[in-house]
Structure 1
Amino acid sequence: LQWLASGDIEEVRPDENALISGPAPARFIVSKTDRLFRFKLEDHSLVWPRGKISEEILRKLGNVEASSTLYVRRKDVPDEVLETGSDLSLAELGVEQVYASKQTWKINVQGVVVEFSEPEITVRQAMQEAGFDPEQNWIIVLKTASGRRNVSTDDRIDLREPGIEKLRLTPRDVNNGELAREGGKREFQLLKSDEDGLTRRQLPYDTLVDGARRWLLLKGYKLPAGYNVAETTVAIEIPSSYPSAELDMFYCFPALNLTSGRIIEQTQVVQDIRGIKFQRWSRHRGPTAPWRPMRDSILTHLTLIDTSLVREVEP
């Protein structure tokens, strides 16, 4: 067999002349065998004089780095990982196809799955890759097969450890407490960045817990001309896993109607919040502008609300 500079391996017949000129020495594999086994390694067509081939030799033939994983392509089932030190059987029916891929390690960060090319990372790296701000005041819990433990942003995680599953993030300043603050009812606290943004917009607000649902109520929300009232209370549901979970839709009390008499589409559903009937505005982000954890917020959701309210009364 001649191991060509291109990476392919070809059979050389006894009466055939082999080309050995070139800048690199010609390479041959000599073996006594009654048959050859054909397979593909990456884009190279190879033949081998044995019914099996080791993972070590495959790496040498394909010049595959140790940091990459070898896979055997399979039909109708997930591709098979060729483990270190194992052998690949070439005697089975069909032409085996082997390919290499950089080994990666995954971790779920509050619902966002991220990959790394290195097995050891810091909590900070995982959060940044998933789009979360590590400088925010978080409670961080690492969940593994052996249990859960609290970690800090500078702690290291070995993703090779069996059972590494997820990092759970909870803002320290979000709670279900009953502390009241001057200027409004507070049954849970918002993120400081959201509080500061609402203050800058001079929007008075309440936070309420109604059953298992948490609500932000923006009082005295100014409306553009064309509605039956000049202002309303806007309610936004705040999921417990916000900001990784997106904010969706908004609710108004009193219900809004147009002075033109035209019906506002997708506002017919009523939502009860502490006995008050809010009008649901079913307005959602499109596929080109999905929710981005730690980039989107209550403040960016207000742009969706403002746009939706203005759109209904635009000439």
Structure 2
Amino acid sequence: MNTSQPDRTYLYEINAQEFASSDNTQTPQQLKAQAGIEPTHVVFRVDQNAPGEQLDDATPISLSGSQVERFYAIPREDAQERPHFKFNVDGQRYESLRPDVTGADIKLMAGVPANALLFQEGRTSADQRIEDSTHVNLARPGTESFYTSLPANNGSVDAPVRGPLDTQFAALQQIYPNAELTHQPDGTAWVRVPGIPLTPAWTEPQATVKFVVPNGYPASPLDCFWVEPPLTLRNGASPANTGHNALFPQDLWFSYHVQGWSPTENSLLTYVGVIRQRLNAGN
């Protein structure tokens, strides 16, 4: 009689991807090889209540526990200090000490009402709803972004229709992928756009600009902008109609006003075009 036991498959996750092993004991080196991760990356075991335990490449790990083991791997240079995992909720930046969080964790850290609906912005696919019990991996390259909505009276859980600001900002990011949108408690918002190309009239090849989105936008027009230092004209003169104010005291404020703003025809993207036109003037 053949008394051998049938083969068993042991599941584990690394960087939010699931893999299977026929061996119940693996080393971090073996996990990285199977997942196609750079061998120089450092592996951490996910801990629900702590940043995670860093594992030596040769440490044997049992995969036969009652729950699926979770790990994340990051470049060694990023692991020199205890990593903080950044994410955005409704345009605000937050940090977590651990990469494996649930929807409930995200709402708690962001101070979102417990009954709010939470959605994750899709990078290459549609946005998806994140349940309170859904696990989210914050260790992927880039920053994960989420947005919230209070439940509709009819109990609908579909992703809410984006308002004009969110829709326009998504279009802006198609051209300027490093642009940032920060909602403020008073209902205004700040937009920061790095990588604005400059003409040879300036001593720098690029600039980072900021502007405020007022309450009532887009009916209320955009007005004025700031440029982060350094920004210097090559001829040594000060740019025309500039100064400093309390909102961004370290930045150079351009008193520049748009004539004939149309809430139906103009957008964040066209306003950045207006800013570029002003800077291209080179004075």
Q: TM-score with structure 2 length normalisation?
A: 0.40
Computing the radius of gyration from Cα coordinates, the structure with the larger value is 1
Answer 1 or 2: higher relative contact order, Cα 8 Å, separation at least 6: 2
Q: TM-score with structure 1 length normalisation?
A: 0.37
